[in-house]
A = this chain, B = another copy of it.
């Protein structure tokens, strides 16, 4: 039900996804009437699971958590909790999704806080995974360590990399740089057994210096939004310059394949689907403005994480770090 377009985008995306991956069963959770209105004819393989409420995009997360017990978001996360669904994908209110997921699913053993991770493109044509992107705005060194582990396990699982490299976002590459929290996090990461690269800077995200970049959620959120802003500004400058006169418009027409390639490469929809990591279950947040293609990418990410057992990998890695003190049975 969530996102800027609700079922207008999520339902067609789900149908298309279902057709493409017939071994995946999609469950549409939300207001039955709204969903059915978007289902053109019957599709027996897409099931509707009704929910009577909808969390608004601007609703305070605490309110959504406390009062909307039958929201589509809450019901979908409940399905993950009960094991009826392997993952939940939502384009709705990020804060509410995080609050509900954390409350319903709980965090994995030894994980203090879940984090939001996303994939960004880089010059090496690989993927850079960045976390946290805004779930945590006052991170301690321990949290940053946990983000490093969660990010590395995500990459190990979905990119099939044995030992993904982890960078710590800082304002300089030297160990002495940064605030106290980051310095301590660097020490923890160095002795974590992860493939810790050391400090990286903002531009290293797009250079592809490391597979994972770890940062406080305030920093990660600001960096992500600023990056989107720069890309938009640059592309709009380019568009305006090419529209300046008919001659330039003709050149732009000739250059169509170049711009298509650029669009294909930089398309934020391609990278849609942020992972809520550290939970006892898989929850994927789609961008609110996602179109059907982008929402399909988020669905694909969910399936990827299910098949590659991301939460289980994180739990196992945390156990190794913590030693055998934690009971294995607590790992879902």
Contacts and interface: CB of A to CB of B under 8 A. Distances in A.
Contact of A201 (B215, B225, B231, B261): B225
B232 A138 contact: no
Interface in A203-262: 203-207, 215, 217-219, 221-238, 241-242, 248, 251-252, 254-255, 257-258, 261-262
A171 B137 contact: yes
Interface stretch (A3-11, A28-36, A99-107, A172-180): A172-180
Contacts of A121: 233
Contact of A202 (B204, B227, B248): B227
Interface string A142-171: 000000000000000000000000000101
Contact of A238 (B221, B241, B258): B258
A224 B227 CA distance: 9
A307 to B, nearest CB: 30
A326 interface: no
A47 interface: no
A217 B171 CA distance: 9
Contact of A206 (B232, B248, B266): B232
B218 A138 contact: no
- Count of this chain's copies in the oligomeric assembly: 2
Contacts of A237: 123, 262, 265-266
A184 interface: no
Residue of A60, A204, A224 with most partner-chain B CB within 10 A: A224
B241 A221 contact: no
B207 A229 contact: yes
A230 B232 CA distance: 11
A203 B232 CA distance: 9
A122 interface: yes
Interface string A130-144: 000010011000000
Contacts of A251: 251, 254-255, 258
Nearest to A235: B234
Nearest to A207: B229
A182 B137 CA distance: 10
A236 B123 contact: yes
A116 to B, nearest CB: 11
Residue of A180, A205, A218 with most partner-chain B CB within 10 A: A218
A134 B206 contact: no
13 contacts: A121-B233, A123-B232, A201-B225, A203-B229, A205-B229, A207-B233, A215-B222, A223-B223, A226-B226, A227-B229, A231-B234, A241-B262, A251-B251
